[in-house]
Amino acid sequence: MTAPARHERTERVRELALAEGFDAVGVARLAPAASGAALRRWLARGDQAGMAWLGRRVERRLDPRESLPGARSALVVAWRYAPVAEGGEAGPLGDLWRGVARYARGADYHDFLLERLQRAGQRIAEELPEMDFRAYVDTGPLLERELAVRSGLGAIGKNTNLLSPTLGSWLLLGVLLLTLDLEPDPPIGDLCGECARCLEACPTGALPEPFRLDANRCISYWTIEHRGPIPAELRVGIGEWAFGCDVCQEVCPWNGRPAPLAGREELRPPVAGRALDLVALLELPDQELRRRLTGSPLLRPKPAGLRRNAALVLGNAGRAEALPALVRALGDPSPVVRGQAAWSLGRLGGSQAREALEAAGAVEEDDGVLGEIARALAALD
């Protein structure tokens, strides 16, 4: 195919993808990943924490051509999710939303972005029936951010997020692998320079050096992916983040430029029933939490994980009005929630907390929870 013909085809494919409402579309030519050695070092250090799946199928992850026979190019799409226009964020999440990472305050992006990508692929296939495609939204062994860099959408920041000079980093990414030979977009250069605000601001030290994220200290990992107790040494640093963390993006200078978003239905919290605050989150049983949060990414850590997070945040926030709910949480079906409630009662203090901890210790059978109760009582002393 001649260069002019390739250019025309590329621009038509880009146009068809943009028709699905993406904020930006870049084109990358497929080849083995340039970051293969860095990924192997990251895995060898154990920076993936408990996310063992990131170490599987590494060779396929490092060569996107392995995911679709005959794949030649990738369309990489970006969809901006923040900042939301004034008054558009709280909704039925009540006071909970302030401790929820912005990407998770609306519908689950895996669903609505994948639908848009599939429609884009079908649009392209209708005009180019010889083409095959496969869509990914954080759902397969692909290095989406590397493909985004190679497609010219942005550069990797020191916080390991993709930074766009026009859109910032509040971006969700998706990839369409295509069996088309398209004209790639040129990559852009470094956008961080000497800036280190994200490294300095991380509350738990999860960014020990530029361009390296240690999930063993990352608030998002512990509040979303991890299912057991959160390590005691990280609890205070988690602060009031009940699901994920945005600190390294909030301090990034590139995020001060995009205009506020408005009118995107996907940004509306899909929560059924009355407002869901931290106390409600702590007290609702599994079935009711699943009903209230249908279609929301907040279900990723499972109901017990959400109640654990709520108990932690209530302890860090020092809200005396949360004490009765934390006392009741000492009887939660999950030992992880009971243990976290004990820690938070130790933080809040007072005679009611002491009496509740002593009473719970007299009937508790789980060794881990008994240890949390003992440490909480010691803290009260």
Each residue's pLDDT tens digit, 226-265: 999 999 999 999 999 999 999 999 999 999 877 778 768 8
For 310, the 3-state DSSP assignment is: helix
Task: State the total domains in the chain.
Answer: 2
Arithmetic mean of pLDDT over the chain = 93
Q: What angle do CA 123, 128, 130 make, to 5 degrees?
A: 125
Query: Under 8 Å CB-to-CB from 362, ≥6 apart: which residues?
Result: none
**Structural domain of residue 122, as residue ranges?**
1-269
272 secondary structure, DSSP code: -
**Closest C-alpha among 321, 369, 323, 371 to residue 347:** 323
pLDDT digits (tens, 9 = 90+) for 353-367: 999 999 999 999 999
Question: pLDDT value at position 4?
Answer: 65
Reported confidence tier of residue 139, pLDDT bands at 50, 70, 90 = confident
Residues 147 and 285 in one domain: no
Residues making up the chain, counted from first to last: 381
Residues 107 and 184 in one domain: yes
312 inside domain: no
Question: pLDDT value at position 2?
Answer: 74
Reported confidence tier of residue 269, pLDDT bands at 50, 70, 90 = confident
Please indicate whether residue 138 is annotated as part of the active site: yes
**Closest C-alpha among 249, 241, 211, 210 to residue 309:** 241
313 inside domain: no
Residues 89 and 109 in one domain: yes
103 inside domain: yes
Within 10 angstroms of residue 191's Cβ, the number of other Cβ atoms is: 19
Residues 20 and 38 in one domain: yes
Residues 106 and 233 in one domain: yes
For 365, the 3-state DSSP assignment is: coil
Phi, psi of 99 (to 5 degrees): -105, 20
* From 63, 95, 132, 138, the catalytic residue: 138
Residues 218 and 182 in one domain: yes
Q: CA–CA separation, 18 vs 210, rounded Å?
A: 33
Question: pLDDT value at position 268?
Answer: 77
Question: pLDDT value at position 92?
Answer: 62
Q: CA–CA separation, 363 vs 207, rounded Å?
A: 42
More confident residue, 349 or 275: 349
* Mean pLDDT (whole number) for 120-136: 95
135 secondary structure, DSSP code: E
5 inside domain: yes
Residues 28 and 151 in one domain: yes
Q: CA–CA separation, 191 vs 299, rounded Å?
A: 34
pLDDT of 309 above 80: yes
Q: What is the largest CA-CA distance in the chain?
A: 80
Question: What share of residues in the chain are helix, strand, coil (percent, to 5)?
Answer: 50, 10, 40
Q: CA–CA separation, 136 vs 277, rounded Å?
A: 33
Residues 281 and 157 in one domain: no
Residue 75 CB-density burial (10 A; 0-12 exposed, 13-18 middle, 19+ buried): buried
What DSSP line would sit under 147-161, residue for residue? HHHHTTS-EE-TTSS
Domain end marker among 211, 242, 269 = 269
Residues 127 and 247 in one domain: yes
Domain end marker among 207, 241, 269 = 269
Q: CA–CA separation, 130 vs 311, rounded Å?
A: 55
Phi, psi of 177 (to 5 degrees): -80, 135
Residues 167 and 117 in one domain: yes
pLDDT digits (tens, 9 = 90+) for 79-103: 999 887 655 454 567 678 789 999 9
Listed range (69-83, 90-104, 125-139, 152-166) with the worst mean pLDDT: 90-104
Q: Are 374 and 346 in contact (CB under 8 A)?
A: no
* Mean pLDDT (whole number) for 271-280: 77
Residues 20 and 144 in one domain: yes
* Mean pLDDT (whole number) for 178-206: 97
Q: What angle do CA 15, 20, 26 make, to 5 degrees?
A: 50
Residues 255 and 325 in one domain: no
